[in-house]
């Protein structure tokens, strides 16, 4: 199908078409397409831009990654398909960051395919392809981790994650940074540092912050982050947008019936 760049929602249609193609190749599971739709809905409600509160969260996340001893970024099918380049940029800007494949719907072939995409994006060492450890008390395949990665990480970045694993990671005493457009999701609510922003925008901002601070010594401690305020701000933004008269005004060019 040909998409016209003049279509007002060209970017969104392009991303959908790319994800659908990734799903046909087996990189993204059909459930991942549904998850993307939910993300799109929240992005729409948030105004499809990075909120100032999300930007603050991204800056704090960059500082936590710099303060961490063993930080890891977890990658599932959607993340590899949507943002392999941004993951590589973050990994370049934070030497020592582990990049680990972690899948809810795991098959060895999918894990290998995702690792290939990450390597092609410029990440030489991809963890989690053959898991060597397990997160206790978690029934799903998401429990299967790398003993050199998530198992020993002190800070985990978990984009598009399910609430069970976010909770399990916290129980293990890890600092959890989530990236999830839904401020009501269990993942956002249990994370120590929830970033309520779209994945590619969030990782791009994180990479830019890390690149800017590379010449400075890393912080000696983890600055506290007001997670409740970040979630409240995202919800307040959604509420304001839903109540605004502009929400029911016809878009320019729409014909009256």
What is the contact surface with ligand PTJ in residues (CB under 6 A)? 29, 31-32, 35-36, 38-39, 42, 76-78, 82, 103-105, 160, 162, 179-182, 185, 198-199
Token digits of residue 162: 């399910």
Question: Smallest gap, in angstroms, from Cβ of residue 102 to ligand PTJ?
Answer: 7
CB neighbours (10 Å) of residue 243? Answer: 8
Task: Decide whether 162 or 209 has the Cβ nearer to ligand PTJ.
Answer: 162
Task: Decide whether 151 or 213 has the Cβ nearer to ligand PTJ.
Answer: 151
User: What is the SS3 string spanning 26-89?
Assistant: CCCCHHHHHHHHHHHHHHHHHCCCCCHHHHHHHHHHHHHHHHCCCEEEEECHHHHHHHHHHHHH
Q: For the chain, where are the E strands, in sequence order?
A: 71-75, 98-101, 133-134, 144-145, 155-159, 175-179, 193-195
Question: Smallest gap, in angstroms, from Cβ of residue 223 to ligand PTJ?
Answer: 24
Question: Smallest gap, in angstroms, from Cβ of residue 189 to ligand PTJ?
Answer: 11
Instruction: Let me know: does 134 contact 143? Beta carbons within 8 Å.
Output: yes
Compute the distance between CA of residue 210 and CA of residue 204 in angstroms, rounded to an integer.
Answer: 10
Task: Decide whether 178 or 213 has the Cβ nearer to ligand PTJ.
Answer: 178
Task: Decide whether 56 or 105 has the Cβ nearer to ligand PTJ.
Answer: 105
Instruction: Let me know: does 142 contact 58? Beta carbons within 8 Å.
Output: no
Compute the distance between CA of residue 152 and CA of residue 48 in angstroms, rounded to an integer.
Answer: 35
Task: Decide whether 48 or 226 has the Cβ nearer to ligand PTJ.
Answer: 48
Residue 146: closest CA among 102, 204, 106: 102
The CB-nearest residue to ligand PTJ is 39
Question: Smallest gap, in angstroms, from Cβ of residue 198 to ligand PTJ?
Answer: 4
Question: Smallest gap, in angstroms, from Cβ of residue 176 to ligand PTJ?
Answer: 14
Question: Smallest gap, in angstroms, from Cβ of residue 173 to ligand PTJ?
Answer: 23
Task: Decide whether 8 or 37 has the Cβ nearer to ligand PTJ.
Answer: 37
């Amino acid at each position: 199908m040909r998409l016209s760049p003049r279509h007002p929602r060209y970017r969104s249609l392009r991303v959908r078409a790319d994800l659908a193609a990734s799903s046909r190749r087996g990189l993204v599971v059909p459930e991942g397409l549904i998850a993307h739709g939910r993300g799109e809905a929240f992005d729409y409600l948030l105004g499809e831009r990075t909120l100032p509160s999300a930007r603050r969260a991204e800056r704090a996340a960059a500082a936590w990654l710099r303060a961490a001893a063993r930080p890891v970024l977890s990658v599932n099918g959607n993340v590899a398909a949507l943002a392999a380049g941004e993951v590589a940029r973050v990994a370049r800007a934070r030497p020592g960051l582990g990049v680990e494949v972690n899948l809810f719907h795991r098959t060895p072939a999918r894990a290998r395919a995702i690792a290939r995409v990450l390597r092609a994006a410029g990440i030489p060492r991809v963890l989690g392809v053959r898991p060597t450890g397990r997160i206790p008390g978690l029934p799903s395949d998401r429990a299967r981790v790398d003993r050199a990665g998530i198992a020993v990480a002190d800070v985990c970045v978990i984009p598009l994650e399910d609430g069970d694993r976010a909770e399990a990671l916290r129980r293990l005493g890890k600092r959890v940074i989530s990236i999830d457009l839904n401020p009501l999701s269990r993942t956002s609510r249990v994370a120590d540092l929830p970033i309520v922003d779209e994945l590619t925008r969030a990782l791009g901002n994180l990479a830019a912050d890390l690149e800017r601070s590379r010449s400075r010594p890393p912080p000696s401690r983890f600055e506290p982050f007001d997670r409740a305020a970040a979630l409240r701000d995202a919800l307040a933004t959604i509420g304001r947008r839903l109540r605004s008269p502009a929400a029911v005004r016809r878009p320019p060019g729409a014909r009256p019936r």
